[in-house]
């Protein structure tokens, strides 16, 4: 949010409009479009003196009003002045009223012209003008003064929530050093083209996604993953915008435009995060639109109806009660604090490397009873290594491995990488034909007129290949190979369990959340991993449709389910689950696009952390709802009965709003480790 907008927001935006700004935040929009962001004061971390000045400017008019109000009260009660009465007294309090009251009255008029009669500006305007009409000048000024101060704090809270998330995520430099004819040249990151080479010095942040062309470099990836430990990259590997070069000078070839970088996509996701509103938030907004006009008519009834039933009816007394009722009724505490609470939850999650696509998913995770997870890449590293090769001696093992290596090069499965690392460079002279990937089974191709099959034993069964061993007796993941209709043998491949996988399951069980593992890997491997981690149930040898059926079975028992996987291959299960979570913010762009929640650093321990953040966010939101309703109900009853004055009304409105805001922003300081 630009500094020049702070005062405008204080003076012109209603609670609902500020709420809309929270829900439709433009975080990262300028960055994603490649615009210079230096004027963003508070958000970009520069111009701190200007920032402080702008914050003081927010309080300038309320401060003037406060001084005049206190002086007037002193003339009324502490050091009474004979001249301070009648029109002079009225004029003095009008001077105190105008700095804080005029902008609100102006907005009330603008809202009425737009057809929105029952805004909080209208409520404040009627209440304070009514107070002046019955000569309660100090109270009229006080209501508008405290209302304006509350608006200032709301502005600061919203600005801080946005600034925190933007500072956490968008850490790209605006300028980069590009090698032009081997000469370093500084230019705007948005102007750099694909194919240009960036010179990255130690301590500098990378501005665009690219490919490392230096032999080796070490990076801090905290901007993307939340992990600050060094991550070594080697020649040809992908490096992303936001990473910090830690050691020697590195050269990076740009592979994506500024607006297409991984970080831009993450920022875009956060930009639209709060457009997906939680049910609680949607209800409160609808409630406020009905609630406000009702209390206006009730206030009119409180003022006029007693004339029909009360013998000693005094109009000014009942008007005062109705004005108190109006001030109390303002729904600011609800309309502001609830979206701010959800926005704070999204910010807290972002700080921990967890990206939510909407506040509705915070609510959903808070009620999750069952987490269903993939194995490879979720609970295990997904880095396979060939352990053993068992081929029939009648075949040329080296030649067959070359064939398998070429065929697997057409697959993106981690197994293909393991085979490639084991066999070595691909022999491009090997001519495979009619290459076909059979989902859930493996690969098929023809070579020299013979059929080559590489996959699991279900593939062997599918093509009627006989073998003289029990696949279940092999613990590790097995890649079976057949050539020309004859079983050749198999390779065993092993994957290592992630360091925090066991703690993840323990944390889930402590929250009474069940854990089930579904995998296309062989059952013996899946069972072994599940046993080691303490997972409740595990199923292996599953096709994608089998996973869908398993999740349907769980949901049929009325359990709310979160599925954790890669977000792409398991798209049907992600769509079926209540919350789809993707491991690997550094993985494919499709992962970010398909999942509801993205865990950026691949750590499964972030699964229970995300649930904790969801639960805490929902808890704070309901604390604010309860606080607002209870206090307002008590003071409304007291006000209608003539037992509360305007000062109690101010507390019920502005005071509760401030308490709710402070409670909402508290979540951003919590430790969820």
Reported as a pLDDT band with limits 50, 70 and 90, residue 96 is very high
Q: How far apart are CA 532 and CA 552, in angstroms?
A: 26
Burial class (CB in 10 A: 0-12, 13-18, 19+), 381: middle
Tell me which of 236-245, 300-309, 450-459, 617-626 is least confident: 236-245
Reported as a pLDDT band with limits 50, 70 and 90, residue 560 is very high
Q: How far apart are CA 139 and CA 579, in angstroms?
A: 50
Q: What's the alpha-carbon Rg for the chain, to the nearest Å?
A: 32
Q: By three-state DSSP, how is residue 456 classified?
A: coil
**Structure-block tokens of residue 557:** 């028992």
User: What DSSP element (H or E) covers 221?
Assistant: none
- pLDDT for the residue 28: 37
Model confidence over 472-505: pLDDT tens digits? 888 888 899 999 999 999 999 888 888 899 999 9
**Between residues 26 and 186, which one has the greater pLDDT?**
186
Q: How far apart are CA 353 and CA 438, in angstroms?
A: 35
Q: How far apart are CA 208 and CA 190, in angstroms?
A: 9
Taking 50 as the threshold, does the pLDDT of residue 320 lie above it? Answer: yes
- pLDDT for the residue 297: 86
- pLDDT for the residue 229: 59
Q: How far apart are CA 316 and CA 319, in angstroms?
A: 5
Contact 566, 591 (CB under 8 A): yes
Question: What percentage of the chain reaches a pLDDT higher than 70?
Answer: 81
- pLDDT for the residue 8: 36
- pLDDT for the residue 287: 72
CA 655 to chain centre: 29
Catalytic positions, written as ranges: 374
- pLDDT for the residue 166: 59
Other CB atoms closer than 10 Å to residue 94's CB: what's the count? 16
- pLDDT for the residue 42: 35
CA 120 to chain centre: 30
CA 242 to chain centre: 18
Contact 627, 385 (CB under 8 A): no
CA 404 to chain centre: 43
Reported as a pLDDT band with limits 50, 70 and 90, residue 613 is very high
* Of 525, 559, 154, residue with least CA distance to 332: 154
Question: pTM, whole model, 2 decimals?
Answer: 0.65
Reported as a pLDDT band with limits 50, 70 and 90, residue 649 is confident
**Between residues 487 and 134, which one has the greater pLDDT?**
487
Model confidence over 4-17: pLDDT tens digits? 333 333 333 444 44
Taking 80 as the threshold, does the pLDDT of residue 169 lie above it? Answer: no
- pLDDT for the residue 305: 92
Q: What is the DSSP letter of 202?
A: T
Q: Provide the mean pLDDT of the chain.
A: 80
Tell me which of 285-289, 496-500, 510-514 is least confident: 285-289
Contact 564, 372 (CB under 8 A): yes
Taking 60 as the threshold, does the pLDDT of residue 155 lie above it? Answer: yes
């Amino acid at each position: 949010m630009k500094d020049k907008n702070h005062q405008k927001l204080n003076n012109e935006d209603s609670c609902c409009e500020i709420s809309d700004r929270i829900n439709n935040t433009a975080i990262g929009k300028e960055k994603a479009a490649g615009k210079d962001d230096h004027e963003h004061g508070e958000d970009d971390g520069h111009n701190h003196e200007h920032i402080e000045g702008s914050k003081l400017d927010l309080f300038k008019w309320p401060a003037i009003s406060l001084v005049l109000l206190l002086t007037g009260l002193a003339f009324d009660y502490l050091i009474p002045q004979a001249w301070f009465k009648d029109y002079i007294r009225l004029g003095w309090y009008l001077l105190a009223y105008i700095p804080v009251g005029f902008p609100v009255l102006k907005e009330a008029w603008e809202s009425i012209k737009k057809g929105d009669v029952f805004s909080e500006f209208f409520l404040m305007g009627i209440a304070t003008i009514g107070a002046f009409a019955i000569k309660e000048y100090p109270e009229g000024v006080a209501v508008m003064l405290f209302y304006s101060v509350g608006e200032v704090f709301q502005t600061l809270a919203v600005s801080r929530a946005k600034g925190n998330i933007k500072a956490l995520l968008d850490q790209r430099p605006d300028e980069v050093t590009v090698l032009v004819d081997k000469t370093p040249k500084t230019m705007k990151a948005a102007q750099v083209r694909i194919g240009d080479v960036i010179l990255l010095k130690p301590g500098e942040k990378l501005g665009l996604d690219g490919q490392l062309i230096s032999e080796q470099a070490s990076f801090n990836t905290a901007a993307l993953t939340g992990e600050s430990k060094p991550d070594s990259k080697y020649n040809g590997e992908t490096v992303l915008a936001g990473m910090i070069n830690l050691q020697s000078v590195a050269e990076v070839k740009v592979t994506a435009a500024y607006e297409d970088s991984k970080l831009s996509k993450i920022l875009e996701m956060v930009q639209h995060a709060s457009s997906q509103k939680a049910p609680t938030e949607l209800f409160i907004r609808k409630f406020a639109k009905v609630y406000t006009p009702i209390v206006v008519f009730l206030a009119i009834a409180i003022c006029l109806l007693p004339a029909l039933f009360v013998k000693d009816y005094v109009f000014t007394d009942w008007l005062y009660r109705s004005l108190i009722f109006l001030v109390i009724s303002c729904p600011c505490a609800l309309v502001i604090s609830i979206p701010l609470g959800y926005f704070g939850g999204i910010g807290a999650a972002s700080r921990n490397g967890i990206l939510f696509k909407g506040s509705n998913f915070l609510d959903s995770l808070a009620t999750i009873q069952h987490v269903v997870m993939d194995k490879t890449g979720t609970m295990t590293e997904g880095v396979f290594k060939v352990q053993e090769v068992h081929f029939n001696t009648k075949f040329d093992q080296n030649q067959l491995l070359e064939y398998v290596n070429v065929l697997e090069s057409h697959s993106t499965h981690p197994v293909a990488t393991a085979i490639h690392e084991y066999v070595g460079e691909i022999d491009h002279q090997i001519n495979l034909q009619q290459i076909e990937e059979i989902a859930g089974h493996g690969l098929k191709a023809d070579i020299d007129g013979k059929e080559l099959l590489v996959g699991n034993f279900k593939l062997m069964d599918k093509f009627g290949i006989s073998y003289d061993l029990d696949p279940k007796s092999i613990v590790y993941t097995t890649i079976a190979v057949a050539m020309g209709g004859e079983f050749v043998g198999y390779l065993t491949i092993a994957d290592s369990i992630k360091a925090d996988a066991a703690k993840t399951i323990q944390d889930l069980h402590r929250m009474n959340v069940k854990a089930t593992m579904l995998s296309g890997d062989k059952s013996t491997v899946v069972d072994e991993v599940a046993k080691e981690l303490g997972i409740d149930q595990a199923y292996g040898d599953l096709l994608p449709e089998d996973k869908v059926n398993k999740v349907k079975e769980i949901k049929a028992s009325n359990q709310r389910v979160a599925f954790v996987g890669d977000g792409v291959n398991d798209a049907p299960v992600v769509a079926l689950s209540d919350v789809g979570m993707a491991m690997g913010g550094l993985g494919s762009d499709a992962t970010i696009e398909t999942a509801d929640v993205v865990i950026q650093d691949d750590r499964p321990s972030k699964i229970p952390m995300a649930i904790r953040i969801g639960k805490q966010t929902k808890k704070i939101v309901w604390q604010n709802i309860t606080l607002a309703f209870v206090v307002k109900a008590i003071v409304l009853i007291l006000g209608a009965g003539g037992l509360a004055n305007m000062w109690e009304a101010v507390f019920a409105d502005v005071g509760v709003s401030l308490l709710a805001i402070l409670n909402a922003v508290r979540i951003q300081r919590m430790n969820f480790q």
